[in-house]
Structure 1
Amino acid sequence: MELTNKDDNIRHNVPMVRQITENGKAKLEIYRPTTNPIYIYTQILAALSVSMGSMVVGFSSAYTSPALVSMRDSNLTNFEVSDQEASWVGGIMPLAGLAGGIAGGPFIEYLGRKNTILFTAVPFIVSWLLIACANAIWMVLAGRALSGFCVGIASLSLPVYLGETVQPEVRGTLGLLPTAFGNIGILLCFVAGKYLDWSELAFLGGSLPVPFLVLMLLIPETPRWYVSRGREERARRALQWLRGKQADVEPELKGIVKSHCEAERHASQNAIFDLLKRSNLKPLLISLGLMFFQQLSGINAVIFYTVSIFKDAGSTIDENLCTIIVGVVNFIATFIATILIDRLGRKKLLYISDVFMIITLMTLGSFFYYKNNGGDISNIGWLPLGAFVIFVVGFSLGFGPIPWLMMGEILPGKIRGSAASVATAFNWACTFVVTKTFADIIAIIGNHGAFWFFGSVCVFGLFFVIFCVPETQGKSLEDIERKMMGPVRRMSSVANLRPMSFNM
């Protein structure tokens, strides 16, 4: 399948001119934004393969919500689970994800993006078997820790792989496929958890990495990683596989090589110094900011403790059914985001996402405040479910998938591994803090105060998006990197070349 508008779109026919800054000096450069029609089949296979790993991640993230209820039932479990141990069953995964995020940076640089993703499959299976066969709480915690470590590595490497393999015109759509499959994993866990106990649910989780392992064997390593290792011929073959047999990949390959050479020329011998260079620090801080506001929206507290929250709300609707409805909405909303992201762009979806979350979190806070102060909620028992649904829609449209997508887009190639490692570790650190302290926050300021707090954080997040986050829609990774490193100005074509001001 090919998508092409070559005859209709001047971008594909006429070279463009842009002004770039190199070594502090402005100069003109002729370039061609897209050299090939968009070849879909192989890029979908690549996106589908890594997305199967994301489904395992989603299932792992949602496991505690349905599993803890049956795990604490003495008729179904031959060991006791205290309140503190139960909180660690939920909290140890993001803590291990933090360690996985830190380890994943060196892994994707030295082993490669594909191999790093591939090597998480078997440990995922082992972790689920540990949980499923557990006869003591330490086995459950060990399984959750190993699973969390793999989740941290996968969260880092999946967006980097897709960012480096998919063409700019479809990078937004296919780049959200892992998030969509992650939500399928969450939904599957919620639905299966209604009918299976914690051990049976873990056996189901252990079967999910098998198709992921098989599909990952079919796809190539990223061309950019091959170039970084000096293996240009392997990079050419990988690019040919991704772009189609008839595609002329030489211009794109030359652009990748040129970008890598420029990054090498300006790189220092110390990775920390590279991260802290002003040109690299800006995209890193933007990525960290997006991760911070993603997690401080309270989403993982909602996902991990969905059943408990609906119980506390005294909702008139069965809490397990509410959980499934939230999972279905989460799944549908992400597919809507995949359709809209390459039409509306990243920033508009982040605006919409943030406004939805602010309104619903404040509404949930008001509901719990009214209930906690003796108000009659019998006529508004539907409100928590309605607010949760809209909250999940808002999150899934923007702040759920886009921080991960943009992490693979805006981080410069030379530091992409180490910077993505920092961003992923930071994300999981925030996840751990939110999920582990959620019960404590509720004890201190009440559940109404917790939702108001998360809503207030989202207000600050909206201003962060407005003033700090760039739009990356339709831009190649090389274009984004040049823009982040220094000003870039474009002109329509060589034929329309006119005198241009060099004032920045």
Structure 2
Amino acid sequence: MVNQKFDLKPQLFVGVVTMTCRISIGGLLSLSGILIPALQAEEDPNLKISLKDGSWMVTVWPAMAIFGSMLGGWIADTFGRRSLLLMCQLPISSAWGLIASAPSYWVILIAMGMSGFGNGALNSAASVYLCEISHPKVRGMMANLLNIAQSIGMLLSYVLGAYLPWRFLCWTLFGFSLVSAVLITIFTLETPYYLLTKLRVNEARNNLQKLRGPTTNIDEEFNEILERKLRLEANKLANQISTKSIFTSSRFLRPFFGAGVTFILACFSGIMVISLYTVNVFQESGSSLDPYLGSILVMSFRTFTSLVGSIVLTVFKRRHLLLCSSLIISSSLFLMGGSNYIRRHFFHIPIEDKTLNGTWLESNSTHDLSEGFKPALWVSTINNWIPLLAMMTMYAAHSMGFGALLKLSCAEAFPTEIRSKASAIVFVFVDIALAGVGKAFPYMLEAFEFYGTFWIFALTTALTGIYGFVTMVESKGKTLVMIEEQFEEKRMKRKNLVLQNSMENNRAQPETTQVNRVG
């Protein structure tokens, strides 16, 4: 079935329509990077904030996403993945309109909370939806559409926010979110996997045929999904297994402690926080490059590498790609911290002073700065370009491996009957972690300084990649049914091994008893 010919265009079209909702989320994700420095410079006392005040904007988003994830998983499994996609458009569109017309910072926080709720619910549906409509050969590429869309949304937000008033940015993306809702309503289909869980067999077959193209023979793929569903139902009846009991079984726990925990640990890598504070990160790094221009360059490169990532995901194995990309990201974060460390300890120049940027002075130097030193060319390069190049490298590795794989692996790993709920559980922990790291970031800069904070992120990223490589299963080129059966085979092997050991112990016990009697 994996090697069966199929028409890519129908499922790709549905996937592209679905990704439009993620463009709005990408815009909201990077909005704090635009709004925090803009509101710091505001003259209106109702809108003016400090960096620590701005951290609440970063925190309320994932905090409210926790509740969205909790509700989203239940809605997706009860009413369908497509239904949840449609429901999420209301809080997201409303948030853009509220921010655009906000008279005070409190209204912006409320709107960010609404959008966070919508994002949390959407996370439970979008990845699962794309995985379930995709052919195994292109599932990695299709799931990466969300990563591409998020990068486009972030880039759009930075481009508009750098050169236009922030309210204009919000009204523009408010209009885009309405268009996205209309497109999703008209052109998307419910997934065959969900329809079969509700025993809507004819509708499931019709939708699969539409997704694979009218001339594609879907018998083998459809029968595989249907037979798997019937076997599971028969097993439930024979063993009195409830859906709730699956959450305490290895069918949930193994993928959770593999792909799920890897995703949760990745929140402490700092990449999401850097996305939320991009302009501030450029300002803190010591680079004299305009922070808005730097952000635009980084997001442009991220969008390009997201497109390349669709190809990479179809070529390389998931686990190897995760490990390699995490080590590249870790090296980039370490380099950013090292560049800042050198500047702070060997340049006796405050970060804010751009006039002497690049002047190299040893820590024991007695030179009078008033004499005027010409900055060495290589020193200027370190100050101005290493943060930019390091961030570009970091986002390239994130787009082509680390970031693209995390959501995909969670959506693939869990059994069909609990896939949305299980993914939602993972996202609850992810949102809790993001809320904590987002709020802690300004305080980490104070406690550990810029370089120390980024070195902590570098270490965490490397450990996350190693953990994921060891605990996750390889899923490239396999159908969702094959992945489920792979976990089932491992469980049965362990069960048979325990049973075999138990039988051997029972055989040995009578022999020992007989020897004791003879003695």
Q: How does 1:54-93 map to 2 (within 5 A)?
A: 54-75=22-43, 79-93=47-61
Contact 1:42 1:243 in 2 (8 A): yes
Whole-angstrom CA distance in 2 between matches of 1:80 and 1:459: 38
Q: Distance in 2 between matches of 1:80 and 1:271?
A: 50
Give the letter for the 2:464 counterpart. Answer: G
User: Does residue 371 of the first structure (1) align with residue 374 of the second (2)?
Assistant: no
* Match in the other structure for 2:462: 459
1:164-175 equivalence runs, <5 A: 164-175=132-143
Q: Post-superposition shift, 1:339?
A: 1.0
Q: What is the aligned partner in structure 1 of residue 435 from structure 2?
A: 432
Q: Distance in 2 between matches of 1:272 and 1:235?
A: 25
Aligned to 1:498: none
**TM-score, normalized by length of structure 2?**
0.84
Matched, 1:298 2:270: yes
Residues 358/84 of structure 1: CA separation in 2 closer, same or farther (3 Å cut): closer
How far does the alpha carbon of each residue in 1:82-133 deviate from its partner, in whole angstroms, 9 at most, with x for none? 4443211121111111211111110101110001001111221111111111
- Counterparts in 2 of 1:272 and 1:365: CA distance versus 1, 3 Å: farther
Matched length: 459
Q: Paired residue for 1:189? A: 157
**Higher alpha-carbon deviation: 183-192 or 252-261:** 252-261
- Give the C-alpha shift of residue 365 in structure 1: 1.7
Which residue, out of 137, 152, 161, partners 2:120? 152
Alignment of 1:221-240 (within 5 A): 221-240=190-209
Structure 1: which amino acid aligns with 2:212? Answer: R
Residue by residue over 1:425-467, the C-alpha shift from the partner in whole angstroms, topping out at 9 and shown as x without a partner, is 1222221111111111121222111111111112212321331
Q: Measure, in 2, the Cα distance between the counterparts of 1:272 and 1:91.
A: 32
The equivalences for 1:15-26 within 5 A come to: none
SS in 2 for 1:248: coil
Q: Higher mean Cα deviation, 210-219 or 302-311? A: 210-219
Deviation at 1:271, TM superposition (A): 4.7
Q: Give deviations 1:200-226, integer Å, cap 9, x for gaps.
A: 221122122123212212121001111
Distance in 1 (CA, whole Å) between partners of 2:473 and 2:337 is 32
Distance change >3 Å, CA 173–CA 163, structure 1 → 2: same
Change (3 A) 1:436 1:263: farther
User: 2:145, 2:244 → 1: CA distance?
Assistant: 32
Give the partner amino acid of 2:121: I
Task: Report the Cα distance in structure 2 between the residues aligned to 1:280 and 1:353, rounded to whole angstroms.
Answer: 27
Residue 481 (structure 1) aligned with residue 484 (structure 2): yes
> What residue is the counterpart of 1:252 in the other structure?
221
* Corresponding residue number in structure 2 for 1:22: none
Q: In the TM superposition, what is the alpha-carbon distance from 1:364 to its structure 2 partner?
A: 1.5
SS at match of 2:403: coil
**For residue 488 of structure 2, what is the amino acid of its counterpart?**
M
AA aligned to 1:165 is I
Verify: 1:162 aligned to 2:130, yes or no. Answer: yes
Deviation larger for 146-155 or 247-256? 247-256
Which residue identity lines up with residue 369 of structure 1 in the other structure? Y
Q: SS of the residue aligned with 1:276?
A: coil
Q: Secondary structure at the match of 1:246?
A: coil
Query: Residue 143 and residue 362 in structure 1: after superposition, are their counterparts in 2 closer, same or farther (change >3 A)?
Result: same
Is the Cα contact below 8 Å between 1:132 and 1:202 reproduced in 2? yes
Closer/same/farther in 2, CA of residues 79 and 175 from structure 1, 3 Å limit: closer
Q: Which amino acid aligns with 2:104?
A: A
- C-alpha displacement at 1:78, in angstroms? 5.2
Cα pair 1:263 1:413 within 8 Å, conserved: no
Aligned pairs for 1:6-405 (under 5 A) are 32-34=1-3, 36-75=4-43, 79-217=47-185, 218-267=187-236, 271-375=243-347, 378=358, 379=379, 380-381=382-383, 382-405=385-408
Q: TM-score, normalised by structure 1?
A: 0.87
Query: Following TM superposition, by how much is the alpha carbon of 1:391 offset from its aligned partner in structure 2, in angstroms?
Result: 1.2
Q: Relative to structure 1, is the Cα distance of residues 339 and 77 closer, same or farther in structure 2, using a 3 angstrom cutoff? A: farther
The equivalent residue for 1:29 is none
Q: Say if 1:173 and 1:366 are closer, same or farther in 2 by CA, change over 3 A.
A: same
Q: What do the CA deviations read for 1:325-354 (whole angstroms, capped 9, x no partner)?
A: 110111111111111111112223212211
Contact 1:288 1:426 in 2 (8 A): no
2:279 touches 2:295 (CA, 8 Å); kept in 1? yes
CA distance in 2, matches of 1:316, 1:441: 23
The alignment partner of 2:402 has SS state of coil
Query: In proportion to residue count, which structure has more strand?
Result: 1
User: Is contact 1:53-1:212 (8 Å) kept?
Assistant: yes
Give the whole-Å Cα distance in 2 for the aligned partners of 1:65 and 1:138.
17
TM-superposed CA distance for 1:77, in Å, is: 7.2
Deviation at 1:395, TM superposition (A): 1.4
**CA distance in structure 1 between the aligned counterparts of 2:132 and 2:183, rounded to whole angstroms:** 18
SS at match of 1:185: helix
- Rounded Cα–Cα distance in structure 2 between residues aligned with 1:358 and 1:327: 19
Please give the alpha-carbon distance, in whole angstroms, between the structure 1 residues aligned to 2:19 and 2:235: 34
Q: Structure 1 counterpart of 2:86, which letter?
A: L
Asked if 1 retains the 8 angstrom alpha-carbon contact of 2:228 and 2:481, the reply is yes
Contact 1:350 1:397 in 2 (8 A): no
Q: Which residue is 1:4 aligned to?
A: none
Q: 2:413 aligns with which of 399, 410, 414?
A: 410
Which structure has greater helix proportion?
2
**One-letter amino acid of the counterpart of residue 13, structure 2:** L
Identity %: 24
Gaps of at least 5 residues in structure 2 are 349-356, 359-378, 493-499, 501-519
Distance 2:172 2:9 in 1: 29
Ranges in structure 1 where 5+ consecutive residues have no aligned partner: 1-31, 490-502
The one-letter code of the counterpart of 2:332 is T
Shift of 1:482: 0.3
- Answer whether contact 1:70 1:197 (CA < 8 A) is retained: no
Task: Give me the whole-angstrom Cα distance separating, in 2, the residues matched to 1:480 and 1:118.
Answer: 28
Which position in structure 1 is the counterpart of 2:448?
445
Contact 1:54–1:182 (8 Å) recurs in 2: yes
Q: CA deviation at 1:403?
A: 0.7
In the TM superposition, what is the alpha-carbon distance from 1:269 to its structure 2 partner?
A: 6.2
4+ runs deviating over 6 angstroms: none
CA contact (8 A) 1:60 1:205 kept: no
